[in-house]
């Protein structure tokens, strides 16, 4: 009796699945998906070739420092790093004195309250502070950016699919002239006033103007030639670090776990052979 009930339940389950599949297929045949500009003209990210990519990836400290310089001189005008502290920069090779100097010289000071008057005031940053937002609040941020809210960049490399390559492609190679073929096929997709065409952005139109506009926009402290492509790679490396500063430790732990499992399998196999060797016929 139990087998009969189980068979009936299984048959009903299969019938419902088949019915759902038939409905999906028939709907797709009768109403095929409409071709969109995003589907046809959106590009997949280019490979940035970062040293942190891959199973054995490690950060190139010099490159990440250059990326921090790009963030400091270009990106920090609009974007915050609210989950990163100044003292975290010691992980990139900066010593304590350099971190103190970077924090103290940061163009945006920390908001505070004057203890004598009770009025809002500011104070210089210290290493334990997190990077301050360039705007007092979201309203001020929108007012300064054509009603667009610049996202925080702390976790951007984790928040977007293929994050490091996405950032590299978006800021370094995404801003191109809108293809004439796109306007011909999809007239309504013409980039509106105030937005910028970017072939790597989800809907092809982004509020952020091109941040990297010319070679030499940043003068690297280590003498590296600051081409637009190089700056895009470096800032994507830096934002990969801000999103996952313990990436190297995770990779090392993963490698150790794999080695342990391989050794354990051999030991288990050897134990099995030893225990059962006298019982085999």
State the binding site for heme c: 75, 78-79, 208
Question: Angle between the 228-243 and 163-173 helix axes, to the nearest 10 degrees?
Answer: 150
In our burial notation (b when 16+ CB lie closer than 10 A, e otherwise), range 221-239 reads eeeeebebebbbbbbbbbb
- Provide the β-strand partners of residue 130: 85
**Residues within the annotated binding site?**
75, 78-79, 208
Distance from C-alpha of 43 to C-alpha of 193, rounded to nearest angstrom: 22
């Amino acid at each position: 009796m139990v087998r009969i009930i189980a068979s009936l339940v299984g048959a009903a389950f299969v019938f419902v699945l088949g019915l759902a599949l038939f409905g999906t297929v028939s709907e797709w045949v009768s109403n095929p998906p409409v071709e969109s500009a995003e589907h046809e003209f959106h590009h997949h990210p280019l490979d940035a070739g970062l040293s942190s990519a891959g199973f054995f990836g490690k950060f190139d400290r010099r490159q990440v420092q250059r990326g921090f310089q790009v963030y400091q001189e270009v990106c920090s005008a609009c974007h915050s790093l609210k989950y990163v502290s100044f003292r975290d920069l010691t992980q990139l090779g900066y010593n304590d004195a350099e971190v103190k100097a970077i924090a103290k010289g940061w163009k945006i000071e920390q908001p505070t309250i004057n203890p004598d008057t009770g009025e809002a005031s500011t104070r210089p940053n210290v290493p334990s502070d997190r990077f301050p937002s360039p705007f007092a609040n979201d309203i001020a941020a929108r007012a300064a950016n054509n009603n667009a809210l610049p996202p925080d960049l702390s976790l951007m490399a984790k928040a977007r699919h293929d994050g490091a390559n996405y950032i590299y492609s978006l800021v370094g190679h995404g801003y191109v002239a809108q293809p004439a073929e796109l306007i011909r096929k999809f007239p309504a997709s013409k980039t509106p006033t105030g937005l910028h065409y970017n072939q790597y952005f989800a809907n092809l139109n982004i509020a952020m103007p091109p941040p990297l506009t010319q070679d030499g926009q940043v003068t690297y402290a280590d003498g590296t030639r600051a081409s637009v492509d190089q700056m895009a790679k470096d800032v994507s490396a830096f934002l990969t670090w801000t999103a996952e500063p313990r990436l190297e430790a995770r990779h090392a732990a993963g490698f150790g776990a794999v080695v342990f499992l391989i050794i354990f399998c051999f030991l288990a196999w050897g134990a099995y052979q030893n225990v059962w060797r006298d019982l085999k016929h």
